[in-house]
Amino acid sequence: MIIFIYGTTAEAIKIAPVARRLEARGIPYESWVTFQHTDALRAILPELGLQEPTRMIANGRGGKPLKSSADVLAWLTSIAGWIRKNIRNVRGSLPSKTVVVVHGDTLTTVIGAYIAKKLKVPSAHIEAGLRSGNWRHPFPEELDRRIAGKLAAIHYAPSAEAATNLAAKHDVVFTNGNTVIDAVLDQGGDALLDQAPFGLVLLHRFEFVSNPQLVEETMRTLVEKSPVPLRLIVDAYSEHGMTGALAKHVGDKLQPQPKLRHQEFVGLLKTTEFIVTDSGGIQAEAALLGIPTLVHRKTTEQREGIGENIVLSNWSQTTLANFLQDYELYRLSARKPSRSPSDIIVEDLLARGYGS
């Protein structure tokens, strides 16, 4: 049996291509969900072709999104209660050939790998081996990756560098890229026609939105230096950290808009003049599409596109301003990988006997 454990929209987007390929082959799987994201995750599941959750491990904080440390603590407490109450009975119901598949660098990634350990089954980590080399940046994602790497038995590494980081591990499988590549190629999402030029901004990581001075400086630089209007994607998890800066800087140059359906978002990606983001997933998508992109972080665990169409800001406002003025220098043609990362993962899981 193959069990996916996930809890955020980003995880769902990147797991979905694997799940869809299993379903196309008639291979059953289960989805166990923590709802680290709540309404946004529920809304995206049908769009991605993911089945309704088989088990609900947690439901945010009382069904609400996690917006504060207190919310996260309450959510973790509810997960601990679920484990204490259910793990023994669930363990007894599983087939002998069972694997738990987790993705990326969220708290749910660690929780899923830990649940696999309690169930006494192996866990497989998609997007394994990525390292920034600094546990403080990004925080807590870098710690999540390292912990998941210690708990997982199978490591699906998206790059040669990631595989090298896991050289001491057994069962490291190079996947020829990130599954988000398949998420973009599978979903399509045509470029939007008749659109006036615009830049796309998505900044949501905890280390960014929890730094009011950085948020203020970044919003000011964006508004003052961008040569085109900006669309700022704001969701329930980033909005609270940007309230003050948005109130000050929203206007004709900067317009916030709610999170979009994934296909609509891919359409925006294909239409935008440039991207400013702190998302590793969008970094991989932008590298695939050749879009000029600034990754607004101190460091990144992924090398896709860096030094080509992607600039790492190191949180420098000067670097951000220069990119906004010269973004066209970084535009490249779109490229398609020689092999599908999701196909490689599915073939490996089936070869290990987990498809029955």
Classified by CATH at the fold level, domain 187-330 comes out as: Rossmann fold (3.40.50)
Cα–Cα distance, 281 to 179 (Å, whole number)? 9
H or E stretch at 350: helix 341-351
One pLDDT digit (tens) per residue for the chain, 356 residues: 999 999 999 999 999 999 999 999 999 999 999 999 998 899 999 989 999 999 999 999 999 888 888 999 999 999 999 999 999 999 999 999 999 999 999 999 999 999 999 999 999 999 999 998 888 888 889 999 999 999 999 999 999 999 999 999 999 999 999 998 899 888 765 555 567 899 999 998 888 988 999 999 999 999 999 999 999 998 766 766 677 787 888 888 999 888 777 788 888 888 999 999 998 889 988 998 999 999 999 988 888 899 999 999 999 999 999 999 999 999 999 888 889 999 999 999 999 999 87
Domains 2-177+339-351 and 187-330 share a fold: yes
Compute CA distances 183 → 189, 259, 284, whole Å.
10, 17, 11
**Token pair for 288:** 């695939």
CATH no., domain 2-177+339-351 = 3.40.50.2000
Report the pLDDT value the prediction gives residue 189, as an integer from 0 to 100. Answer: 56
Compute CA distances 150 → 147, 168, 343, whole Å.
5, 11, 25
Judge contact between 57 and 34, C-beta under 8 A. yes
Compute CA distances 191 → 24, 73, 195, 235, 270, whole Å.
27, 41, 9, 23, 5
Give the DSSP letter of residue 195.
P
Counting DSSP H helices and E strands in the chain, the numbers are 14, 13
Report the pLDDT value the prediction gives residue 351, as an integer from 0 to 100. Answer: 96
Report the pLDDT value the prediction gives residue 237, as an integer from 0 to 100. Answer: 64
Compute φ and ψ for 35, nearest 5 degrees. Answer: 50, 50
Beta bridge partners of 103: 126
Question: What residues contact 153, with CB distance under 8 A and at least 6 apart?
Answer: 122, 123, 124, 170, 171
Tell me the torsion sign for CA atoms 332, 336, 342, 344. Answer: negative
Tell me if the pTM is above 0.85: no
Give the DSSP letter of residue 133.
S
Report the pLDDT value the prediction gives residue 270, as an integer from 0 to 100. Answer: 87
Report the pLDDT value the prediction gives residue 123, as an integer from 0 to 100. Answer: 98
Report the pLDDT value the prediction gives residue 139, as an integer from 0 to 100. Answer: 85
Instruction: List the domain boundaries for the chain.
Output: 2-177+339-351, 187-330
**Token pair for 194:** 């008749």
Report the pLDDT value the prediction gives residue 209, as an integer from 0 to 100. Answer: 87
150, amino acid identity: K
Judge contact between 278 and 203, C-beta under 8 A. yes
Report the pLDDT value the prediction gives residue 192, as an integer from 0 to 100. Answer: 58
Report the pLDDT value the prediction gives residue 188, as an integer from 0 to 100. Answer: 63
Report the pLDDT value the prediction gives residue 267, as an integer from 0 to 100. Answer: 85
